[in-house]
Structure 1
Amino acid sequence: MADEEKEQKVSRWCLVSMASIPLVMTLGNSMLIPVLPIFEKKVGITSFQSSMIITSYSLAAIFLIPVAGYLSDRFGRKIVILPSLILALIGGIIAGFASWKMNDPFTWIVIGRVLQGVGAAGATPIILPLVGDLYKDDDEKTSSCLGIIETSNTFGKVLSPILGAAFAAFLWFLPFFSISFFSLISIVLVILFIKVPKKKEDPPQFKQFIHKTKDIFKKEGKWLYTVFVIGIYLMLILFGVLFFLSDIFEKVHDLFGVKKGFVLAIPLFGLCVSSFMTGKMIKGDISTMKKVVIFSLILASSSVVFVGFISEKLLWLLVVTSLLGIAIGAILPTLDAMITEGIEKEERGTITSFYSSSRFIGVALGPPVMSMVMKNYLNISYVAAGGVGIILLLLAMRLIKTDKSNKTEEVPV
């Protein structure tokens, strides 16, 4: 009985350790969004330049995530995760120290952010295949665990504006250093509690791996690419809307500091709750997953259209963005489960890394695109976002199949 309780306790701490990684990496990016206007004043940069503080992090991750995925398949999940978290820690120190000591710190802030992006590339995406490794024969537990992981990600988004504003109110550059501190906590948790299952056989050689990956995309590419594009779309509108809200809360609604952080967290709280509930609900059922994706795309597409039109009415703005957050929160763990549960272990790290990379494309595009369109083309851009969502809805209805759980006999995906 004591052994059973010990095993359960270790399992819980392993889950906490895994959940800490997306939490830390989300804080590392989203925590800076509410304080970008402060950075603009303190560093003397434009709105577009401040958006690059977010984008530089994401661009580094986009290109390195697939590499990290392959390396995790080849050498092991933990061997890739730990050095990546250390890089994220170092990047935060560089950005924070430059902001503290240099007169013109922008270049070094971006360098530090790029290092953090490299760390994010090798940490967060590897969690998805690691969950699949730990619960390889239990789709229901996999879905539930992925829901918790995605909830940790979204909970980080809820905490981010509050923590970021609170830290910046004390010292404007403190958010950079705090990222290093949170990374250190995650490093300790990973070392102590994550026990990766031993490999029973050697992974395929690089040529064989490339051939098999191409084969997967050739046979199952239609629904995989659809999922990837949906991931880009969701992150683009999420980070674009957050960037917009951070700006308009100050300029139109006179919300500053921690108060602004709490208000910005309202739509993100809906995203967090929705993510957690969906992870519990889908239970590895591909038919249920497809229904969630379809309903959520309808809700996201119809709500994002109105964001610009009601931007001066705070209550309605929060209602609409909360509906958008709920829709995004429901889709994210569903897409995680679709991909993770449908890919055999040897290619799981690589294929899920392509999906994670696609999400970072949306994160990278959101703030700079919004900084360029929100002065003259705000309403048009949100209406266009709604139209793109409808197109993706039609693609999801047509290309995501519920028969055979999106798998083939030769190559499960």
Structure 2
Amino acid sequence: MNTFKPAPPKVYRWAILFCVSLAMFGNYYVYDSLWPIVDLLREDPGFSYAQIGMLSTAYNIAALLVLLVGGYAIDRFGTQKALLVFALICLGAAVLTVATSRYEVILAGRFLLGVGAEPLIVAATTVLAKWFKGKELSFAFGINLSISRLGSASADWSTSFASPLYTNWQDPLWLASAVAGISVTAAMLYWILEKRAQQQYQVGEVVSANDDKIDFKSLYKFPLAYWYIVALCVVFYATVFPFRSFAIDYFQQAHGITRETAGLLSSLLPVAAIILTPLFGLLVDRVGRRGLFMAAGAIVMLPLFVAVTYLPAGPDVYLWIPFIGSAMVPLTLFIVIFLLGAVFSLIPAVMWPSVAYLVDARRLGSAYALMTLCQQVGWAVVPLIIGRLNDVFDAGPTYPQGYAPGMWFYTLLAAIGVYFAFKLWHHDRDNARLASSPHTGA
């Protein structure tokens, strides 16, 4: 006898969204919690910039391995168990990272974080697709991304609201471990909510994570514009994310500002993403011209790293973030980070949806998985190069000019991004696919 079950009430869906997003918040916080203590890691355990760069790369190597494995664990055990297990792995990674000053153990902790964090993101995406397909799916994804980025911003803000912890390198990471515990709690709440919902309501079917496995046989069928977007994706994330990794330390050592001010300034990047990414997405959906927007963003980014290195600091200006804090920051740094934050919002808001207009829907999962794989490769290599350059040129407070080679390397990457953005724009104009509005069938 078939028993009719009603659809879950709307408030239930938003409770699920809140739990999953809170798990993601903790995930992002733990990843970014390492960057405000770069100078402390160099002082106390005595790590080199190259070693710190490897702590970033270890996460990406793990992410690459997990991506190649695909969504087997999520398919095999379901989203309830998967989300909780991966949140527990992230918690274990956070504790392992702070438990000892031995470099090999900290490196293992960052690797373990990559093992847990990337599948957690896939599991969260799968949950949202199951609960919101046909019901505010895009908006739900936007909210999830905003809360996730809030985790990154909060790690930067911890230099202010948790400033007493920054007398040593371990206490801020113990705070990150506590935040990882919040992720585990949120994952448990999601499990309880969904188990109850399955008994009382008609819950959507699970979207198979295997849809995101890379189909190597079909790679040659992807259009040329797709490969331009992949190339732009690689150089963009390989520029912005490694810069964020070293930004707080760079602001302190090269520009002589306090850790609290540096953290507030660095947080402008994720704060911009929280606010501007949905707005840019709405704008481009209305006017089209996706290739042109990506080219414009690449051009804006090109001079920023040279500017922050060579331009005069200028007068101090007042920076205030509501509910977080305020500080006086050099005008040049403020303008550069504000513009980089705008680019950090614009290019992803245009780039990822553009793939859907270029690739057949049946191979969209493979297209996104391949794009993410390439992104991780670039992101893994650059921190090693920047760390090595900083060490070779003796970058530090006594010789701030030593940071210049790293900034020129970021500029080189940005220039490559401009090249591929313009190749995409010209291809776009010739084929009139990305340039046209979605309303005209793009």
Following TM superposition, by how much is the alpha carbon of 1:126 offset from its aligned partner in structure 2, in angstroms?
Answer: 4.1
Following TM superposition, by how much is the alpha carbon of 1:35 offset from its aligned partner in structure 2, in angstroms?
Answer: 0.8
Counterparts of 1:343 and 1:286, CA distance in 2: 21
Identity %: 17
- The aligned residue for residue 85 of structure 1 is 87
User: Among 98, 103, 111, which residue is 1:114 paired with?
Assistant: 111
Counterparts of 1:264 and 1:201, CA distance in 2: 37
Question: Does residue 392 in structure 1 map to residue 408 in structure 2?
Answer: no
TM-score w.r.t. the length of structure 1 is 0.79
Distance 1:404 1:246, change over 3 A: closer
Gaps of 5+ in 2: 195-202, 315-329, 391-401, 437-442
1:181-231 Cα shifts (integer Å, max 9, x gaps) = 323322332343375732599979x9xx77xx2354332253443333323
RMSD across aligned positions (CA): 3.8
Counterparts of 2:76 and 2:289, CA distance in 1: 33
Question: Any residues of structure 2 matched to 1:95-134 within 5 Å, and which?
Answer: 95-99=97-101, 105-128=102-125, 130-134=127-131
Question: Any residues of structure 2 matched to 1:313-392 within 5 Å, and which?
Answer: 314-339=330-355, 351-374=367-390, 375=402, 377-378=405-406, 380-392=408-420
CA contact (8 A) 1:275 1:330 kept: yes
- The aligned residue for residue 146 of structure 1 is 141
Following TM superposition, by how much is the alpha carbon of 1:393 offset from its aligned partner in structure 2, in angstroms?
Answer: 0.6
Following TM superposition, by how much is the alpha carbon of 1:45 offset from its aligned partner in structure 2, in angstroms?
Answer: 1.4
Distance 1:333 1:41, change over 3 A: same
Following TM superposition, by how much is the alpha carbon of 1:399 offset from its aligned partner in structure 2, in angstroms?
Answer: 5.3
Counterparts of 2:22 and 2:375, CA distance in 1: 19
User: Residue 47 of structure 2 aligns to a residue in which SS?
Assistant: coil
CA contact (8 A) 1:92 1:112 kept: yes
Question: Does residue 169 in structure 1 map to residue 185 in structure 2?
Answer: no
Gaps of 5+ in 1: 100-104, 407-413
Question: Does residue 20 in structure 1 map to residue 26 in structure 2?
Answer: no
Distance 1:199 1:238, change over 3 A: closer
CA contact (8 A) 1:147 1:276 kept: yes
- The aligned residue for residue 184 of structure 1 is 181
CA contact (8 A) 2:80 2:190 kept: no
Counterparts of 1:71 and 1:378, CA distance in 2: 39
AA matched with 1:269:
V
Q: How many residues align?
A: 391
AA matched with 1:327:
V
Counterparts of 1:188 and 1:73, CA distance in 2: 22
Following TM superposition, by how much is the alpha carbon of 1:177 offset from its aligned partner in structure 2, in angstroms?
Answer: 3.0
1:47-70 Cα shifts (integer Å, max 9, x gaps) = 211222222122211221232345
Distance 1:301 1:181, change over 3 A: same
AA matched with 1:198:
E
Counterparts of 2:48 and 2:294, CA distance in 1: 37
User: Residue 252 of structure 1 aligns to a residue in which SS?
Assistant: helix
CA contact (8 A) 2:272 2:344 kept: no
Counterparts of 1:128 and 1:289, CA distance in 2: 25
User: Residue 100 of structure 2 aligns to a residue in which SS?
Assistant: helix
1:217-273 Cα shifts (integer Å, max 9, x gaps) = 332253443333323222221133224432332223322332331232234433432
Distance 1:358 1:177, change over 3 A: farther
Larger Rg: 2
Following TM superposition, by how much is the alpha carbon of 1:152 offset from its aligned partner in structure 2, in angstroms?
Answer: 2.8
